[in-house]
């Protein structure tokens, strides 16, 4: 099932997909998808993201993958929903998208073993974790200005139940900029798969329902400009649309 979280008529609703262009709200109403404001489909307490977790992307950046996952935290205010806007900071020279499969935790978990890891996954969604290379301290330590910028991580549109995705390690990812294909890859190119990530993270911290893990991006990142429409898609999970706009003015 594809679930969404939206704002409509002055209230926030849970909704499910109804056909190709409608939503069924939690109160039973069926409405056109174009009439809603899309919100991130989950409200996580913890957001973790992985860097250099695709072999081709690590090679693209001329870095070798580490012996354990390169994980770092993000803040909830970095999230924005489907069809939202992300600001390009004034004066920067290189800002790029990162199409990612995002894992949503379904049950409290600590010290899981990889054989049981999927038992604790509620489902999956699509993330676009923008990075501003001008601000990056180094590839191994993404700083706050890069990865916790307000509304710089589109998420959604859907939370897809894990039962509907029998093999999350064999999903195609693509990004288009203004309709032009600029990135493609597969989750089977991950250095650390989902069970390995969960085993590593929960070896030292507890995850709760709704917590979110972004699992990295494949090669093919390009600079995006104000006015660009960026579409990140994970086949079977969703198609996430975002627009780049100008920076805040003082």
**Fold of domain 40-245:** Fumarylacetoacetate hydrolase; domain 2 (3.90.850)
**Fold of domain 1-38:** SH3 type barrels. (2.30.30)
Q: 42 pLDDT band (50/70/90 cuts)?
A: very high
Report d(CA 250, CA 239) in Å as an integer: 34
Q: What is the pLDDT of residues 129-172, one digit of tens each?
A: 999 989 887 655 667 888 899 999 999 999 999 999 999 999 99
For the chain, the structural domain boundaries read 1-38, 40-245
Helix (H) or strand (E) holding 46: none
60 has pLDDT over 70: no
Is the preceding peptide bond at 157 cis, omega within 30 degrees of 0?
yes
Q: Is 37 helix (H, G, I), strand (E, B) or coil?
A: strand
Q: Tally DSSP H helices, then E strands, for the chain.
A: 3, 19
Closest of 92, 27, 73, 71 to residue 194, by C-alpha: 71
61 has pLDDT over 80: no
Q: What is the pLDDT of residues 82-132, one digit of tens each?
A: 999 999 999 999 999 999 999 999 999 999 999 999 999 999 999 999 999
Q: What is the pLDDT of residues 77-90, one digit of tens each?
A: 999 999 999 999 99
Q: For the whole prediction, is pTM greater than 0.85?
A: yes
């Amino acid at each position: 099932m594809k679930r969404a979280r939206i704002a409509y008529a002055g209230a926030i609703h849970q909704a499910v997909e109804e056909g190709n262009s409608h939503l069924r709200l939690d109160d039973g109403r069926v409405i056109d998808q174009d009439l809603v404001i899309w919100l991130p489909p989950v409200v996580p307490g913890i957001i973790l993201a992985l860097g250099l977790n695709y072999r081709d992307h690590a090679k693209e950046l001329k870095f070798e993958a580490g012996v354990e996952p390169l994980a770092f935290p993000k803040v909830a205010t970095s999230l924005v929903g489907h069809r939202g806007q992300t600001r390009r900071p004034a004066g920067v020279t290189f800002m790029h998208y990162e199409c990612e499969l995002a894992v949503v935790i379904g049950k409290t978990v600590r010290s899981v073993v990889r054989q049981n890891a999927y038992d604790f996954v509620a489902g999956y969604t699509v993330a676009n974790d923008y990075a501003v290379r001008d601000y990056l301290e180094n590839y191994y330590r993404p700083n706050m200005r890069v990865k916790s910028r307000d509304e710089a991580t589109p998420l959604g549109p859907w939370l897809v139940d894990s039962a509907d995705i029998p093999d999350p390690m064999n999903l195609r990812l693509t990004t288009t900029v203004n309709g032009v294909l600029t990135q493609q890859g597969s989750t089977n190119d991950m250095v650390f798969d989902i069970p390995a990530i969960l085993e590593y993270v929960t070896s030292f911290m507890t995850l709760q329902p709704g917590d979110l893990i972004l699992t990295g991006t494949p090669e093919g990142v390009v600079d995006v400009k104000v006015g660009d429409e960026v579409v990140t898609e994970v086949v079977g999970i969703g198609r996430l649309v975002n627009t780049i706009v100008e920076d805040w003015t003082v």
